Amino acid sequence: MRLVLLADEPEWRERLQAALASLRSQHVLLFAKDWPTATAYLAEAGHTLLLATPRHRPASGRFPWPTILLLDTEPDEAPEGVVDWLNGAHFSPEVLRRCLRYARERCALHATLQRLAQQDPLTGIANRQGFQTLLEAELAEHDGEGLALGLLDLDNFRRVNDTLGHQAGDRLILQVVARLKAQLEVGDRVARLGGDEFALLIDTAQRAGRAEKVADRVVEALAEPYWLDGESLMLGCSLGLAHAKADTDPDQLLWLAQVAMRQAKARQGCTWYLYNERVNRSASSLADLEGELRRALRRDDLELHYQPRLCMETGRIVGLEALVRWRHASRGLLAPNEFIPMAEESGLIVPLGYWVISRALRDMQSLREKGAGELHMAVNLSFRQFQDSQLLATLQRLIEERGVDPHWLEFELTETAVMRRSDQVSGTMSALAKLGVRFSLDDFGTGFSSFVHLSRLPISLLKIDKSFVDGVTAGGDNGLVQAMISLAHELGLEVVAEGVEQAAQLKLLEGFGANQVQGYLISKPLPLAELEKYLSQQNKAESVVSA
């Protein structure tokens, strides 16, 4: 260990030199004439101890380094902010030996405590505090560039803890960390920020685009089934990615990755999302974005676009899906994935959801008055909306107020929502079903459904997610989609294929028995006025055919 002496009195120098010589000590004694020289010595190597007289104390009154205070007489009270002290009146080599040993132990203990405070005890990787330190250091070292930060959140981890217990939850976390580590290379870092929240620091200095490749591999690795107590289970995950720039500070980078993570959360299954500047350019914080959305709701800056659904058998438009858009003053028309996750998190989804339903019912009525024919109106309902105890009563009131026949109303629910098995969800669903409202299961195939559970709920349609429909090609492996369709039919459900973009896909899906299709091939989502035009053209075309 190096000792740095900071004292004007020559006695201390002589005493210490003599004592160290008589102890045959290995310690190196350095002399500093002033505070800057001492701090330069101290900063240059680890395991350095400062020995200083009180008059050299910095203005703060505390020495920032491990320090032994050199006093002339025994103090009345133990001095603060130092490891130990030596008293010139009672100085001996033996006293120095004990004092140095004590200081060394105190420093080692301090280092261990510091390490423990920065480490996750279960996984041994850095915790939130440790990661903060790490992030600051890495950003400084990289000059802010050549680094990407990933924030990862497991989607249904709490359910594992609830159903299988915390020990199983811990074992699952260890598996997750092992999979994460397997995707990283030397120079990358991983940390556990919370129960089911992780951070990845990806070194992109040598290879641009590496972070995106790592993100691909990470979500793929985490999507594989996990084995716990002989049972297999799947977890969804959302990874948000943000690249550091020359002037990014740690908090800013964490915030950008957090925004991206919320966007990834809008999609089901295991997904990642790269921070998009356009989406968040003017909102400096989530609170800002929340405030803006609150105002947008009040000022009617939201609009609904309607995407038609085509019936395969009759070739007619039989339904519409209402999709919300936010006409943002500076950022243009925002799609749901750009603000719905935030609305879900903040609880704004509840008033927003009612706005959507109310507007859809109004437009439904106006379409009917204009003779648009019999159309099912489908509205997306999120799990969070079921947590509102007023949901059923409010829906009943809205339906009554608009004078809409509930048989033409449909709610699209995601697998995650219906799989929560909560009594509230199934209770509300059956009460609405009694009114005549029907339900469809949205994005089918991307979540985790139990068919036993599905068959007990009043669901009439199953919407096959675009990601499966994309894979439908002539001569391709269409077995999965075919199986989904026949399974749905077996359960007495109709099938809607989402995201149909090519005529060849339509032909194949028709052959597989899909009942309805939705997608750009039929029409993109349209504002009400354009939808009216679209529907009247469809009607004309039809009457020409039948004439």
- Residues engaged in binding Mg ion (CB under 5 A): 380, 412, 442
* Shorter beta-carbon distance to Mg ion: residue 380 or 416: 380
Q: How far is the CB of 148 from Mg ion (least distance, A)?
A: 32
- Closest by CA to 70, choosing from 14, 143, 153, 133, is 14
CB–CB of 78/44 below 8 Å? no
* Shorter beta-carbon distance to Mg ion: residue 5 or 517: 517
Q: CA-to-CA distance for 236 and 448, rounded, in angstroms?
A: 9
Q: Which residues contact 47 (CB under 8 A, 6 or more apart)?
A: 1, 2, 107
Pairing verdict, β 461-464 and 438-444: parallel
Q: How far is CA 507 from CA 256, 476, 519, in A?
A: 43, 14, 14
* Shorter beta-carbon distance to Mg ion: residue 290 or 321: 321
Angle 257-260-266 (CA atoms, 0-180°, nearest 5)? Answer: 145
* Shorter beta-carbon distance to Mg ion: residue 5 or 522: 522
3-state secondary structure of 292: helix
Q: How far is the CB of 449 from Mg ion (least distance, A)?
A: 16
Question: How is residue 84 written in tokens?
Answer: 């130990």
Q: How far is the CB of 348 from Mg ion (least distance, A)?
A: 19
Q: How far is the CB of 410 from Mg ion (least distance, A)?
A: 10
Q: How far is the CB of 321 from Mg ion (least distance, A)?
A: 6
Question: How is residue 476 written in tokens?
Answer: 């391709």
How much of the chain is helix, strand and coil, in % rounded to 5?
50, 20, 30
* Shorter beta-carbon distance to Mg ion: residue 79 or 336: 336
Looking at residue 78, the DSSP 8-state letter turns out to be P
Please name the residue that has the structure tokens 């829906």. 395
Q: How far is the CB of 162 from Mg ion (least distance, A)?
A: 28
Q: CA-to-CA distance for 262 and 152, rounded, in angstroms?
A: 10
Question: How is residue 275 written in tokens?
Answer: 């921070």
* Shorter beta-carbon distance to Mg ion: residue 204 or 380: 380
* Shorter beta-carbon distance to Mg ion: residue 406 or 525: 525
Within 234-286, strands assigned E span: 237-243, 270-274
Q: How far is the CB of 319 from Mg ion (least distance, A)?
A: 11
* Shorter beta-carbon distance to Mg ion: residue 155 or 412: 412
Radius of gyration of the chain (CA): 33
Q: How far is the CB of 307 from Mg ion (least distance, A)?
A: 9
CB–CB of 510/526 below 8 Å? no
Q: CA-to-CA distance for 103 and 151, rounded, in angstroms?
A: 40
Q: CA-to-CA distance for 250 and 130, rounded, in angstroms?
A: 13
Q: How far is the CB of 440 from Mg ion (least distance, A)?
A: 8
